[in-house]
Chains A and B, each alone.
Chain A
Amino acid sequence: MTAAAPSTESTRTAKAWEAAATVCDPEIPVLTIEDLGVLRDVQVAESGEAVVTITPTYSGCPAMLVMETEILGAMRSAGFEDVRVKTVLSPAWTTDWLSDAGREKLRAYGIAPPVRASSSRQALFGKDAVDCPQCGSSDTERVSEFGSTSCKALYRCRACAEPFDYFKCL
């Protein structure tokens, strides 16, 4: 029986991760907290206690409480009764943690994903060169570095004239 124990435990942990990973960002419902890189760790102790570790995108992110509540709900539905959500600040969240799947989901949703390569930054004031998620044109301009949530900036496409959100680099 001793040989079976670790695999059972890792299966339980995998199941717990899967449950926590179904929770979506309330502000951008196409992204899960796993896509975002907000979900950092899930551990299930021998006692059955599950600890889900998350990290905020921005210090003042108002979605943290909602995510926490939804994680508790998702874990209970998956059969984990004893659940604790732990918030950590270190290492600080970065848009580099956004998964490739997450980036594609963002684009399909109409939000330009964060620009990765630093070479795409324009010299003046360090603005990112962002492609329009509607028509793909790179002829875009920043309207404001700040948008409807902390993680987004407002852009406008000069080619198709559509305004759009840009998930900015952090």
Chain B
Amino acid sequence: MEAIYKTPDTIIDTPTHYCPGCGHGIIQRLIAEIIDEKDIRGKTIGIAPVGCAVLAYNYLDIDMCEAAHGRPPAVATGIKRVHPDKIIFSYQGDGDLAAIGLSEIIHTANRGENITVIFVNNAVYGMTNGQMAPTTLLNQKTLTTPQGRSEQCDGAPLRICELLSVVDGSRFIARTSVTSPKNIIKTKQLIAKGFNTQIQKKGFSLIEVLSPCPVYWRMSSVGSMKFIDDEMTKVFPLGVFKDWESQN
């Protein structure tokens, strides 16, 4: 009998350290499925960030490199320049990419580095117990915004897809979420498109994934999904912001 659903070969079958209701497990599984389907496990190199996903190499059975906080795009650049025919992706959170690593991501996009970035936006610093992220919504309560994020004091949430889509060197920029089977399927399609962008040597691709953090949002798992659909998508609209294919 043919198996129609199984653990991807690229996933290491082990319990993860992620909290209940976290989105990282879904997103990393999608990456593994894509690597299997494209049969690129032997030529893919991933970069794990500082943050909740630092242990991604415990779950993805591929060559991987850690990077200092915010620097995965620089490390990815260094690897890609040595191995231009390998598939290089960085997996980064919102603190890593949009706060301490904002310079690296903009300049890596601007150089048109032929890499793929999976940007997981859960609007909070999860690893350090829930402080404000650059993507935290206005009035959202975190450990460091106990009265809610104030635009006057903390600035407004930073929209990375919108920012990077005006950088000349970027080729494929999209935002998606993992709140429903439909959105998960869409997310897989968009990440696959990011990898295709790289395989076809079209240049820099980034897929932002809105992802739940029930523990540090102080919400239920179901409530977190609803929060993304009802609140986050108002500030971070889903869609494709830049696509080399439709531009041609």
A and B bind:
no
Residues of A within 8 A of B (CB): none
